[in-house]
Each structure stands twice: as structure tokens, then as C-alpha cells.
A and B are shown apart, each in its own frame.
Chain A
Amino acid sequence: GAVVSQHPSWVICKSGTSVKIECRSLDFQATTMFWYRQFPKQSLMLMATSNEGSKATYEQGVEKDKFLINHASLTLSTLTVTSAHPEDSSFYICSASPPGLEKLFFGSGTQLSVL
């Protein structure tokens, strides 16, 4: 199956700092990647759709200036949580789908803890 790699797996940071999360498709090209957030015991909430070479599309209620997304190549999307606060602490997961497939492959996720 297709492989999506996400890094780092976990990060602890101080309030007010920025954190960058990388998502790579290792064996396929992804013009589109998706970023989800998941709080404990809750569902995966779509945050934004990352589009290679163009602006990301954010879901309603997600601050685009706080969650910066860059999709500079066909295999890499990054999510930067800017000026992180404790309420941003969550599990962030990226996903992508090889062309023509209906199923998503997920990265291993990043557990962010903001102190």
C-alpha cells in the first residue's frame, strides 16, 4: 500500500512558539493532502486541504493565519502551528490518496502538547 510519512511523532513546546509538522507521500505523488485534528476520544476533524502549488482550502472555523499550510512539492505538505497555545494541544494527522484511489492513507500523526 501507499506510504505517508509524518514527522515529528510528538512535540512539546512552550506557549507562543511555532511548530512545523511535515507530511510526505513516499511512493506516490499527491497534488492534494489533507490535514485532520483529533482530540482525545473524538473524531477526526478535517482542518484543511493542501493543494500543491496553490493556496490551501480551510474548513469553516479553522484560522488560516494560525495554521499555515505549504504544499511546495508533489510529495511534501507542511502544517505550521503559529503562536501555539495550550488549546492547540491535539493529535494532528495528515493524509493523502494515490491518484484514482478512493481510500486515504494516513501519516502516523503528531501529538502536540503546548505548555
Chain B
Amino acid sequence: GQSLEQPSEVTAVEGAIVQINCTYQTSGFYGLSWYQQHDGGAPTFLSYNALDGLEETGRFSSFLSRSDSYGYLLLQELQMKDSASYFCAVGGQAGTALIFGKGTTLSVSS
């Protein structure tokens, strides 16, 4: 089977840096994805790591260590609008379904 573990809640203040960790157990691993979901909305893609290392996209970065079955999402210069749920997900090759973690609720306060 497949399982992903991530913290259920994280709180931070505006301007801070937050790291959301994700550990996974899966067969046939191809990559680790991160999605953001605001209340009542659909998930939106943030990042994808297939290889070890850090991927940076603006204020968000994502890291993967395949040997440790571990990754994280790093959010910098937090803004109130970053308050949302963040899901890590694993999947097979392109065109296959993703299996999502339980999600981390990030609350950003002023």
C-alpha cells in the first residue's frame, strides 16, 4: 500500500518561514507533489520533485530525498493568503492518479 505522513497543523506569523514535512511509503515511486487548497476550493499544483534536491518557485521551495522517502515544502515570506491546506502526494508516471497525504492546515496570523 501507500501512505504519507505530514503534520496536521502549522501556525506562523506573516513574514515568517514555514517548513511542512512529508514522509512516504509507496511502491513504484516516481515523484512527490505538493498541492494547496483553500477552504471550499479545488487543489492547485505547487511543485513536483522527481529527483533529489531542492526546487524553487518564487516564495515556495520543495525538497526531496528519495533515499529517505522524505520531502518538504518550504514557504517563505508568509502572507495571510497562504493560510490554506497543503497536501503532499505521490504518484506514478505522468497520467496516473495521485495519492494524497492527510494535509497540513497552515494558519498565518498578522
Contact residues of A with B, CB < 8 Å?
31-32, 34, 41-46, 49, 93, 97, 99-109, 111
How extensive is the interface on chain B, given as a class?
20 to 34
A interface SS class: loop
B interface SS class: loop
The residue that B103 contacts in the complex, of A43, A105, A108, with Cβ under 8 A, is A43
Contact at B48–A93, with CB atoms within 8 Å?
Answer: no
- Which B residues lie within 8 Å of A108 (CB)? 41-42
**Bound: A66/B48 CA distance, A:** 34
The answer to whether the Cβ of B13 comes within 8 Å of any Cβ in the partner chain is no
- Which A residues lie within 8 Å of B102 (CB)? 42-43
Within 8 A of A (CB), among B71-110: 87, 91, 93-103, 105
